[in-house]
Amino acid sequence: MLRKPIKHCKDCGAAAVYRIPDDGDTKERAVCPVCHSVHYENPLIVVGTVPYWENKVLLCKRNIEPRWGKWTLPAGFMELDETVAEGAARETLEESGAQFELEGFFSLLNVARVGQVHMFYRARLLSDRFNPGFETIEARLFDEAEIPWDQIAFRTVKETLERYFRDRAAGQFNFHAVDIV
């Protein structure tokens, strides 16, 4: 995993060292040699939606890095003090300005190599009008044939969209758990 190492103890400020803690843990952690605090590094959670209107899905063209100018589902990092559903709804509103009703949990994608877990809900759009925020150049509806597959920002978004359209064609939406290797 690409990680930014913890250099200092968050409790006392002393320089942290990486070693296996004395508490029976089996993984190397940032440990404070002064106050003995163990600092854990955990995956980041990305939450979002697959917003749909009739037989089209809403994609947002990114106005931020990484992948500026590429298309994505509305999604972003979950914040403290919010549920997964609240985070997905917040990100959808921030990035697309869409009016929607959150539906079922749709996909969970593990991206262990970068320490992330991506989670998407289906979201039924209540209008085909959008007011995207500053992170989005354009918010637009696409039917499956119109999607710019070669301009999709992230593999997790591509995998989620492919499963969404496959489920829609089958007439039943399932939950999908995927490991991105």
Mean pLDDT of 135-152: 98
pTM of the model: 0.90
* CA atoms of 166 and 172, how far apart (whole Å): 9
Task: Give the pLDDT confidence score for residue 4 in this predicted structure.
Answer: 72
Q: 132 or 3: which carries more pLDDT confidence?
A: 132
Task: Give the pLDDT confidence score for residue 58 in this predicted structure.
Answer: 98
pLDDT at 22 over 90: no
Backbone φ and ψ for 155, nearest 5 degrees, come out as -60, -35
pLDDT at 1 over 50: no
* Model confidence band, residue 23 (pLDDT cutoffs 50, 70, 90): confident
Mean pLDDT of 52-64: 98
Three-state secondary structure of 18-52: EECCCCCCCCCEEECCCCCCEECCCCEEEEEEEEE
CATH 1.50.10.10 fits 44-179, yes or no: no
Mean pLDDT of 17-39: 93
Cβ neighbours around 110 below 10 Å, total: 15
* Model confidence band, residue 3 (pLDDT cutoffs 50, 70, 90): low
Q: Mind listing the pLDDT tens digit for each residue in 85-104?
A: 999 999 999 999 999 999 99
Is 177 strand, coil or helix? strand
Just give the CATH number of 1-41. Answer: 2.20.70.10
**DSSP code for 79:** P
Task: Give the pLDDT confidence score for residue 86 in this predicted structure.
Answer: 98
Domain ranges across the chain:
1-41, 44-179
